[in-house]
Amino acid sequence: MEELESRESGPTPETAAELAWDREILDHALGELPTLHRMVVVLRHEEDLTYEQIADVTDLPLGTVKTYLFRARQKLRESLRNEVGS
């Protein structure tokens, strides 16, 4: 778990370029997501809204918000893996 903990303090200078590349990949992958999936991801991870707040502002059921987030994050992770592995 130590490597996980270290991620929480942010990137080291050595990984900054790699992270910038990751973010470009993610930006592209975000653009490929269905609109509502992209929206809940942005509201959750950039705007830092809770699941309940997202359900509130989007008029989506809470379960739907969770499902969209789950699928979107799986897709984003796959995009990152595919790009890194290619």
Partner 1 sequence: MNRSMCGDHSLLQALAEGTLSDADLQSVKSHVADCPSCRVAVTEYKQVMWDLAHPLDVELPAELEHSYRLLMREWHNEQKEHQSHALRKSISGSFVPTWANYSVSWTRHLPVNTLSSLVRRTGSTLIGRSLPRWLRRKGGEHH
Can you give the binding site for partner 1, defined by CB under 8 A? 1, 3-4, 7-8, 10, 19-20, 22-24, 26-28, 30-32, 35-36, 38-39, 41-43, 45-48, 56-60, 69-70, 73-74, 76-77, 80-81
Query: What six digits make up the tokens of 14?
Result: 């050595």
Burial class (CB in 10 A: 0-12, 13-18, 19+), 74: exposed
Task: State how far the Cα of 83 lies from the Cα of 3, in Å rounded to an integer.
Answer: 22
Q: Residue 3 or 14: which CB sits closer to partner 1?
A: 3
Least distance in angstroms from the C-beta of 86 to partner 1: 15
